[in-house]
Every structure is written in C-alpha cells, then in structure tokens.
Structure 1
Amino acid sequence: MGIVRDRGRYYWVKRVPKRFAGLVVGKDGKPVTQVRQALHTDSKVEAQAKAAQVEVARMAEWEALAMGDSGSARAHFDMAQRLAQVRGFQYQTLSTLLEAPMDEVLERVKDVQKPKVEGKPIENPAVIKAVLGAVPNVLPNLSGVLNEYFDLTTTRHLRKSEAQKHRWVLSKRRAVENFLAATFPKHSPPIDQITRADALRFRTWWSNRIEVDGLAAQTANKEFGHLAEIWGTWAELTGNDLPNPFSKLALDGEKRDQRPSFSRDWVKDRLLDPKAFATLNSEARDILLIMINTGLRPSEISDAPVEDFCIQENIPHLKIAPNGRELKVAHTRRDIPLLGVSLEAARRIVARGGIQKYARKASGWSALVNKYLSNNGLKETPKHTAYSLRHYVEDALLAAGVDDRVRADILGHKYHRPIYGDGGGLLGRRNALEKIAL
C-alpha cells in the first residue's frame, strides 16, 4: 500500500496481489494490475488514515471476489454477502429490495455509481450485483450449516476444556454424517431441499438399527436432538425462516439400564482389599479411592489442580470448580469433605504434586480402571463400572438417613425444592459422609 501526491491531492495506490490477478478489472472490463483511488485531502496525516481504511475495504472486496471465483453457486452467494457488507449494506435479494423503501434502493444505486478508482467510474459487475441483490440466495448443505453453526455458537463453549469441546463437536458431526449417509449417500443438497420426509426416513433408519443391532432408543434420540438444535439455531441466527424437519422425532423405548450400585460389603471387602489394586498405577488408584467416600465424578477429581486439594484445612476437602473446563451445570460447583481412605489418597496426590497422568483425561482413566476391574474380578456384576461407586455413595447416604438436600449438595445434583440457607455447609456434608466413610 502507498499514497502518492498529485497536484496537491493524495491518492491511494496499490499493485493488485498475484492471487487476485484477473479478478480486479478496469473501465473496459479488462484485468488491471494496479488501482488508484482519490483520498480527497491535501493533508498527509489524514491521507494515511484514510488509506488504511481503503486498504481494508479493498482487500475484503478482493477476498470476496476470489471466494466467488470457485464456480460454486453457494460461494458466489457468500461473495455477494461479503461484498455488500464491505460497502456498508446488508445483502438483500432483488425481490426483497423491490419491496424496500425507495430511499434505501436509491442509496444502493448511488453507491455503485460512485467512481471508486480514479479515472475508472464503472464498478466491478460483481460489486453491482452484490449491492443491488442480483445474486440468488443459495443455501448451504447440512455440512455447511454445521460449520456455520460452530462459528455462530463459539461463545457458548469458552469454558469447555479441549476434551469437552472435542466430544461436543464430535457428537454433532456424527449426527450430521449419519443423517447424510442414511438419506443422501451420493450428494448433499441445500438445506431448503431437506424435507420432513427425509427426517422421517432417518428415524426409520434408526428404528431398524435399534431392532437389529440392539442399540438404545436414547442414542437415536440424542442424534435427533442434535440435528434439531443445529438447524434451529442456525436458522434463527442467520435469519432463515425454514421449518425444522427434525423436531419431534423421538423414538419410544426403554431407557438404558442405570449403572448398578456396588454393595457396601463389596466395597469394604473387595475394593479395599490391600491386594486389589496392587498392579494399578498409584494415581489411577488414588482417584478411585477418593470416589469411595465422596461419590465424586472421575473428572471432578482428575481435573482439579493441586491447590484445590485443601487437606490442611480444619475440615479437609476438595474444591470442585471449573478449572479450565465447563462444569456439567452450575450447581456442581461445591466443596466436598475428605475422610478415611479418600483423605489418605488425597494426601498422596498432593505429595506427588497433584494429578498429572490423568489431568483432563478422565475418559482415559475410566477406560483403564474399568478394564482393570474386569480383568481382576472386581466387578460385582458384569454391568458394574467404576462409576458405580457414585451410585454406591448415593445409596449409602440414603440408607444412613441423610437429608435429600445434603445428598444433593454432596453429589452435585439439582435440588428440586426451594433452597433456604446452605444446607449445613461443609460441616453438614462432613457429618453426613462420616456416617458412611470407610
């Protein structure tokens, strides 16, 4: 970029970058290699400021032209939207502009009639079409909608850890891929060509999988929910008034069996046998032992920094806070007392400098420990998993007569009655856990 002075006035001058060669044309419609634009000032300082603004606008315009050079109808429409925005207008199709106030239409006409390059009063045809809405609206296919959906919802997931975000993205991509594989295996049409009948075909596809492969209905219903959410959010935030074909697709079916709870005798006699975890690495073992007297989720332990293991306090406890990840829901933020084998495990973790091997890797911990339980005869039934310890704590608290408000505070569950006070706070939770601690 540069500015030149000619007869006392300044002009912005730029050589057209090679990647835009052939796209930027002059008065005669032929490509140009250099552009020049009057800055309408004799002040060098003002000219430099204006030149920077012109540079940004022209580069955005050329980038948009390049994007539309792909031959794709969708790319040309995207280009038109960006070119209109560069000129300060929201893109509107010609049919919409014909119903707009005359002042707005005249403003657009005057804009494209302005000489933008000294000596070249005729605008690039692509710019004229963009400002005057002459490029037909071509909607993206479902994969394109998904990518735009991710861009539109970035602020929803700022608190997610990388692992959480990966799982969130993966579930949405899987739903879209399954839908396209089941209904449009050879091509992916624009979304305005996706109908309710297509969504119902996908529902039938899932019904067959459930019947043949023994999958759970809730797995299908999650995918229907993902697709409905993607479509609805995208349509609302982009101003496309399209009926959502994925609404109300849910399949009836039994819910997946809840993980069974370990019995107290099994925990005391089998899981706390000194030889039970002799060959399991110490960090994995200590995370499991903390679960035994707290009912914490594995990730709530593995993702906690060492400073959240408050073992020197009057009531030793573990703080459950976001710590670089998104908590499941707000009420899961809490302080949980540490007693018995759980306190001993926490002390060892602190002595080692905190969780290291499984930090942000709760899924890896679960895979390892569940395999260990299976290989070493430590599963009370084939359906038991390490997560069953959470259910064990909940059942043990209930059997001990602990108030439901305190149980909810310990386990991080939503409390469905009006909340008064703090439910006894940390002391109340310690008193409750003392009744079941091993």
Structure 2
Amino acid sequence: MSSFKKSEEQRLGIINDRGRFYWVKRVPKRFAGLVLGADGKPITQVRQALHTDNKTEAKLKAAQVEAARMAEWEALAAADHASARAHYEAAKKLAQARGYPYRPVATLIAGDPDQLLRRALSVTSENYTSKAAAQAVLGTVPEVLPTLTEVRDEYYDLTRTRHLKKTEQQLKRWRQPRDRAVKNFLDVVAERDGRNIPIAMPINKITRDDALRFRDWWGQRVENGLKPDSANKDFGHLSEMWNTWTTLKKIDLDNPFSRLWFEVRGRKKTKTPPFSREWVKSKLLAPGALGGLNDEARDIFLMTVNTGLRPSEITDAPLEDFVLTHNVPHLRVRENGREIKVEHTERDMPLTGVSLEAARRIVDREGIKRYQHKANSWSALVNKYLENNGLKETPKHVAYSMRHYVEDALLAAKVDDRMRADILGHEYKRPNYGEGGALVGHREALELIAL
C-alpha cells in the first residue's frame, strides 16, 4: 500500500488490515479514563471492525461509528461529571446515535419483545460496549426534565431568530421581565437551601397549585396598590415560555400558568401628556434652561423639539444618517442595527430651527457617542433634570411629552392626518398612495410649528 493511501485512510479514521477495514480513533483527552476496554481498564485508542473490504462503504460506516462513539463518550462524561439532566440528555443522544429513539425501559418491556431483544443484542454485540451505551439503548436512565430556569434559557435560544435585529440593549430589555417573572415565581414557590436561595425545581414538578399560590401572592400585592398589569405580565411571560418550550421540545405537559390573569375593568389608558407650546417656548427653550445637561443630552432633546422624533431614533443614528448638506437638511430614520418599532417608522425627517442647530453641533462632534443605543439612559437623565429644575409642566410630563407636543402642534396648524402620520412614523390606516409629500412637503409642514 502506498504512503499516500495510508495517510488518506488515517485521515478518514480507517485502516486496512489484511484486506478488511477498521475504524480507529484515539480517545480525546477530555474523555481520558472514562472509555474502558473489554478488560474493564481505561484505553487510549479504540478500534472497531467495519465488516467490509470496500473503501467507499468503509468511509460511510466509519462516519456512523464515530458519531455513535462520540455520543457514547459524551454520555460517559455527563454521567461522570454533570447533572442528572445532562446525563439524561446525553443518553437520549447516545440512543439516537445507535439508531434507536430513547424509550424508558418500562415502555420497552410493555411493548414489542422483539424490539427489546434487538436493542439488547445491539449493545452486547459491539466492541468496547460501555455501561452508558447499555443504559441509553435499554432506556434505564431516569427521565429528568429541566428546571424552570433552564427552560427559560432554552426558550431564549429557541426564539433567537425572533430577535436578530435587536441591539444588545433591546435584547436585554426584552429578557428582563422574563427573568423577573421566573425569579418572582421561584421566590414564592420553590424550597430553599441552607443559604436561603430558591432550589431549582424540574418543570414536571411544578403544579397548578404552585401557580395558584403564585397568583395569590400577586393578589395580595395588587390589593396593596400594585398594578394588576405587573402580575398579568408575569403570568403571560411564564405561560408563553412554557407553551413555546413544550411545543418545540415535543414534551406533553399541561401549562400550569394558563388562565391566571387578573381581570381589570374600567381602566382608562393613560397617555403621556404633551407640553404646551407656551411652556416649550418660555420654559424649556429659555436661555440657560437646559444648561445643566451635558452637550449631547441637550442636543438630543433639542432635536425632538421641531421633529417629534423618538429619542432612540436620534441616539441610534450613525453619523452618516445626519444628512445636513442636502437642500432639505434631514435625519434618516433607519434600523441602524436595532429593531425598529414598525416598518412605517422608517422615514426622512426634515430638520428646522433649534433642531437643525442641534443636529449641526452633533455632526461637529462626529455623531452620537455617549448615548449611542442608550435611549433609556438618556431619558432617565433628562427626566430627572426636568424634575429637579422645575421644567415639568405637570408631574406627569416627561421628555417624551415633546413628541406629543409636536403631534398636537401639527394638528393645531391644520396639517392633514396623512402628513402627520408620515412625519411621526405612525401607521396610516387609509390606502397609501404616493410618497405623502416627501421631504419638501414634510419640511413645509414642520416649518409651520418650528421654534
């Protein structure tokens, strides 16, 4: 045999011994001491007959054998080092690698005896058979389902394609209420260890009574003044995570968190109040009124005055989206690496008056830096500043009130509803014909209210 053929076969993990092919592999270091030979002692290399003298067939069989052996070794490591859940999951993969779906031994015994016999023979007929392989194929590894915390983490992974356009900050904000719901539930229901930390409980151990106990806990808090919406959000997040995980994992478990919601009647939706035009002119734009804010925070706020832009539409815009040399200076509102609210949010926003001046200063500083993708941090700072400096028209006014001011100002200036929707990035429910006036028309409308 030529040296070329030998090296190629070694690369494929096969050798030819007296005309017959064998699969050969050195045991990876991470499995050292776990893989045993026929004498029960650890081995460093395995060899298995492929029962063929055809190289092409040997290559195919070797790939199957390697997949089975690697699954077996992973199961060995899980059984030796990891949790009961990891052992169970590894056993399922090992059984599948051997060509059998994992079935509990009780199910196999109650089923077709020929199937059970075939499984037993498959285990005993192969070289280097391990206890892990026998347990997996014969279904003797106890079923262990994940804890609620593990389900949450797997749910995040299972739904990752829903959030491909979210920034790191957006994804963090999306996860926070779900993390909080799981924590709240475990704080109320789970048993605690010696350090008073809730002990994770497998989801098949979570009962409807546990969920109702959690609801009672929330009920007491609602009676003491907390909003029912907070409770209902917890219930909704837990229920949705449960349904998604059990569906995608094909686990048949009733959802204990379904139909827990508190019914809320007679609730009036609160809307952020708009600033009045007089307040904007005499208070917010008074000389020195915003002087205590850092330059970037102040200019972001001023950019909202004549545009009604959402803060994130400014903070997340890269420098190239400040198009100030155009005959109609404007800000391009695009995704910019984040998930925008809705498709109609994308638009070009003409800049006028103090908003244009603020945009020029931002460009001179080479764009947004301190608050890039940190609109929440900006809002917290500005809201605190407005409160501490007597710049809130009422206790309910916040920085976002500027957006509602612009909407009201455009309405007072008799700008039609289609144009207002285009400027503010709202959904327009009538048929969408043409470009809605585009940049020039939008600028003319905004010039009616510009300060």
**Fold match by TM threshold 0.5:** yes
Q: Give SS of 1:35's match.
A: strand
- Cα drift, residue 48 of structure 1: 8.0
What whole-Å deviation, never above 9, does each CA across 1:168-216 have from its counterpart, x for those lacking one?
A: 222211110011101224233321222223222222212222332x332
> Residue by residue, what CA displacement relative to the aligned partner does 1:386-434 show, whole Å, maximum 9, x if unpaired?
1111121222223333333332332223334444444333344333322
Query: What is the deviation of 1:73?
Result: 3.4
- 8 Å contact kept, 1:217–1:255: no
Mapping 1:265-276, distance limit 5 Å: 265-276=278-289
Match of 2:386 in 1: 373
TM-fit CA distance, 1:106: 8.0
- The aligned residue for residue 195 of structure 2 is none
State which drifts further: 5-14 or 38-47. 38-47
User: Relative to structure 2, which stretch is displaced further, 243-252 or 162-171?
Assistant: 243-252
Matches within 5 A, 1:45-84: 55=66, 57-70=68-81, 72-84=83-95
Residue 352 of structure 2 is matched in structure 1 by 339
Alpha-carbon distance, 1:232 to partner: 1.0
CA RMSD of aligned residues (A): 3.1
1:298 maps onto 2:304 in alignment:
no
Letter matched to residue 318 of structure 1: L
Distance 1:417 1:225 in 2: 33
Unmatched segments (≥5 aa) in structure 2: 1-9, 193-198
How many angstroms does 1:19 deviate by?
3.6
Query: CA 1:133/1:8 → structure 2, altered by over 3 Å: closer, same or farther?
Result: same
User: For 2:164, which of 134, 158, 165 is the aligned residue?
Assistant: 158
User: CA offset at residue 127 of structure 1?
Assistant: 1.9
| TM-superposition CA deviations, 1:339-387 (whole Å, max 9, x none) | 2211121122122211111111112211221222122221112222111
Task: Give the aligned residue type for 2:297.
Answer: A
In structure 2, the residue matched to 1:16 is: 27
Structure 2: how far apart are the matches of 1:137 and 1:357? 51
For residue 213 of structure 2, what is the amino acid of its counterpart?
Answer: R
Structure 2 match to 1:125: 131
TM-aligned CA deviation for residue 301 of structure 1? 0.5
Displacement of 1:305 in angstroms is 0.5
Q: Structure 2 counterpart of 1:197, which letter?
A: D
* Corresponding pairs, count: 432
Segment drifting more, 136-145 vs 65-74? 65-74
CA distance in 1, matches of 2:262, 2:355: 42
Report 1:137-152 matches (<5 A): 137-152=143-158
Q: 1:174 aligns with which of 165, 177, 180?
A: 180
Question: What CA distance in whole angstroms lies between the structure 2 residues aligned with 1:433 and 1:380?
Answer: 23
State the distance in 2 between where 1:155 and 1:106 align.
43
Q: Cα 1:416–1:228, aligned 2, differ >3 Å: closer, same or farther?
A: farther
SS of the equivalent of 1:358 reads: coil
CA apart distance, 1:39: 4.9
Q: Secondary structure at the match of 2:443?
A: helix
- 3-state DSSP class of the match of 2:47? strand
Cα distance change of structure 1 residues 16 and 378 upon mapping to structure 2, 3 Å threshold? same
Q: Deviations over 1:111-165 (max 9, x none)?
A: 54552x4xx4xx3232233234443432212111111111211222121111111
Give the distance between the partners of 2:448 and 2:111, measured in 1 at CA.
Answer: 72
Q: Which residue in the other structure is 2:210 paired with?
A: 198
Tell me which amino acid in the other structure corresponds to 2:221: R
Q: Judging changes above 3 Å, is the alpha-carbon distance between structure 1 residues 205 and 414 closer, same or farther for their aligned structure 2 residues?
A: farther
Corresponding letter in the other structure for 2:87: H
Give, in whole Å, the separation in 2 of the partners of 1:286 and 1:431: 23
Secondary structure of the residue aligned to 1:81 is helix
Letter of the structure 2 residue corresponding to residue 153 of structure 1: T
Give the aligned residue type for 2:155.
Y
Amino acid at match of 2:338: R
Q: Secondary structure of the residue that 1:318 maps to in structure 2? A: strand
SS in 2 for 1:379: coil
Quick one: structure 1 residues 399 and 85, their matched pair in 2 at CA, closer, same or farther if it must change by over 3 Å?
Answer: farther
The normalised TM-score by structure 2 is 0.85
Q: 2: CA distance between counterparts of 1:111 and 1:426?
A: 73
1:6–1:417 CA distance, 2 compared to 1 (3 A): same
Structure 1 51/363 Cα, relative in aligned 2: closer, same or farther at 3 Å?
A: same
Q: 1:428 and 1:95 mapped to 2: Cα distance?
A: 75
Q: Please give the alpha-carbon distance, in whole angstroms, between the structure 2 residues aligned to 1:102 and 1:300.
A: 66
- Deviation for aligned residue 1:7: 2.9
Mapping of residues 425-436 of structure 1, within 5 Å: 425-436=438-449
Contact 2:75/2:132 (8 A) holds in 1? no
Q: Which stretch of the first structure deviates more once superposed, 10-19 or 328-337? A: 10-19
CA-CA distance at 1:265 after TM superposition: 0.6
Report what 1:414 is aligned to: 427
How high is the TM-score relative to the length of structure 1? 0.87
- Which residue pairs with 1:390 in the alignment? 403
Alignment match, 2:436: 423
> Structure 2: how far apart are the matches of 1:434 and 1:153?
45
* Structure 1 unpaired stretches of 5+: none
